[in-house]
Amino acid sequence: MNLTLRIWRQSGPDESGEMVTYQVTDVSPDMSFLEMLDILNEDLILRGEQPVAFDHDCREGICGSCGMVINGSAHGPVQTTTCQLHMRSFNDGDVIDIEPWRAAAFPVIKDLVVDRSAFDRIIQAGGYISAPTGTAPDAHAVPVPKPDADLAFENATCIGCGACVAACPNGSAMLFTSAKINHLNVLPQGQPERESRVLDMVTTMDAEGFGGCTNTGECAAACPKGIPLASIATMNREFLRAARKAPR
């Protein structure tokens, strides 16, 4: 099939960008979306033009590197990662708009590549359990009820791609932050730092310039790993509880 792509091109962080139109021909429905961009890039290189820069790595939907807004939707029309989106989701003659994640906390580096280090800083603020190597008791010393373990796992599957922020009309990072807080706060091992974790991570999240939550649910609808919207409510509960217990 033949497609028209309109892609955001921006040569550097401080440059202004624009949508540029490209034609790609002979696209196979079996190609992944990124493979379609590979073809475009090979073509651009041979024509002496700059290829489109985009982040990608594992291409199997787990590393969280890739991410672009395709026709207005984070990761495109299917609820999965961009690398797992295939061209069979499109039709011959389609016009496809491709833009980077847009958020003040995710400045564009080049074309479709954005800086998501704000996510790392949120984790650094408390998204861990302090268990230095060598200090651990036997793994069976503390049983974890299966529902708690499952809930922790469900939240722990977050891949940190940033689609939640990109999809949120407010550019909010609540779903990302809540996933890590819920993963750790529900486990017995996470109890000692339960309050400081939520307070510190939320403070950092706010300081990074993410927007506030208005419960639109767009984040959960775009999340390729299906982190539920209820995680945000749980985080709010944890936050209110922590604020009561440790006022500052």
Partner 1 sequence: MASTGVIMLLFLIVHMAGNLKIFFGPTDFNSYAAWLRTIGEPVLHETWYLWVQRVVLLACLVAHVTSAIQLTHRDIHARPQRYRSKRPWRATFATNTMRYGGAILALFVIWHILDLTVGAVNPRGEAGHPYENVVADFGVWWIALIYVVAMLALCLHIYHGFWSAAQTLGANNAARNVVFKTIATVLALAITVGFLSVPIAVMTGLVR
Partner 2 sequence: MSNPKKQNAAKRSTGGRNAGKPKDSVGAYTVGDAIVDTKAPAGPVEKRWDTRRFEAKLVNPANRRKHRVIVVGTGLAGGSAGATLAEQGYHVIQFCYQDSPRRAHSVAAQGGINAAKNYRNDGDSIHRLFYDTVKGGDFRSRESNVYRLAQISVEIIDQCVAQGVPFAREYGGLLDNRSFGGVQVSRTFYARGQTGQQLLLGAYQALSRQIEAGNVEMHARTEMLDLVVVDGRARGIVARDLVTGKIETYLADAVVLATGGYGNTFYLSTNAKGSNATAIWRAHKRGAHFANPCYTQIHPTCIPRSGDHQSKLTLMSESLRNDGRIWVPKTKGDKRSPADIPEDERDYYLERIYPSFGNLVPRDIASRAAKNVCDEGRGVGPGGLGVYLDFADAIQRMGLDKVSEKYGNLFEMYERITGENPYQVPMRIYPAIHYTMGGLWVDYDLQSTIPGMFVIGEANFSDHGANRLGASALMQGLADGYFVLPSTINDYLARGGLDAVGADDPAVTTTVAEVEDRIKRLLAVDGDRTVDSFHRELGTLMWDECGMARNAEGLKKALARIPELREEFWQRVKVPGTGYELNQSLEKANRVADFLELAELMCLDALVREESCGGHFREESQTPDGEAKRDDERFSHVAAWEYTGVGEPPVLHKETLDFEYVHPTQRSYA
What residue 233 binds from partner 2, partner 1, none (CB within 5 to 8 A, per partner kind)? partner 1
Is the Cβ of residue 137 or residue 247 nearer to partner 2 in the bound state? Answer: 137
Task: Specify which residues 114 forms β-bridges with.
Answer: 108
Stretch that binds partner 1, among 29-37, 110-118, 127-135, 223-231 (CB under 8 A): 223-231
Name the DSSP class of 79.
S
Please give the Cα distance from 240 to 238 (Å, whole number). 6
Return the residues of window 81-140 that contact partner 1 according to CB under 8 A: 97, 99, 102-105
Return the residues of window 174-193 that contact partner 2 according to CB under 8 A: 183-184, 187, 189-190
Query: Which strand (E) or helix (H) includes residue 98?
Result: strand 95-99
Looking at this protein, which amino acid is placed at residue 163? Answer: A
What residue 239 binds from partner 2, partner 1, none (CB within 5 to 8 A, per partner kind)? partner 1
For residue 9, how many C-alpha atoms fall within 13 Å in the half-sphere facing its CB? 12
Is the Cβ of residue 12 or residue 72 nearer to partner 1 in the bound state? Answer: 72
Please give the Cα distance from 182 to 179 (Å, whole number). 5
Please give the Cα distance from 166 to 75 (Å, whole number). 9
What residue 71 binds from partner 2, partner 1, none (CB within 5 to 8 A, per partner kind)? partner 1
Helix residue spans in 63-156 (DSSP H): 117-124, 146-156
Q: By CB under 8 A, name the one of 32, 84, 172, 185 that touches partner 1.
A: 172
Find the length of the chain: 248
**Shortest reach from residue 215's CB to partner 2, in Å:** 27
- Residues touching partner 2: how many (CB under 8 A)? 78
Helix residue spans in the chain (DSSP H): 33-46, 117-124, 146-156, 163-167, 174-185, 194-207, 218-222, 230-245
What are the angstrom distances between the C-alpha of 193 and each of 59, 142, 145, 186, 205? 35, 17, 20, 11, 18
x/- contact string, 190-209, with partner 2 (CB under 8 A)? x-------------------
Please give the Cα distance from 244 to 239 (Å, whole number). 9
Return the residues of window 67-126 that contact partner 2 according to CB under 8 A: 78, 80, 84, 86, 88, 109-110, 113, 115-117, 119-120, 123-125
Stretch that binds partner 1, among 41-49, 124-132, 133-141, 213-221 (CB under 8 A): 213-221
Return the residues of window 73-92 that contact partner 1 according to CB under 8 A: 73
Return the residues of window 128-167 that contact partner 2 according to CB under 8 A: 128-140, 142-146, 149, 152-153, 156-157, 159-160
Instruction: Name the site residues for partner 1 (rule: CB under 8 A).
Output: 6, 8, 19, 69, 71-73, 97, 99, 102-105, 169-172, 209-218, 221, 228-230, 232-241
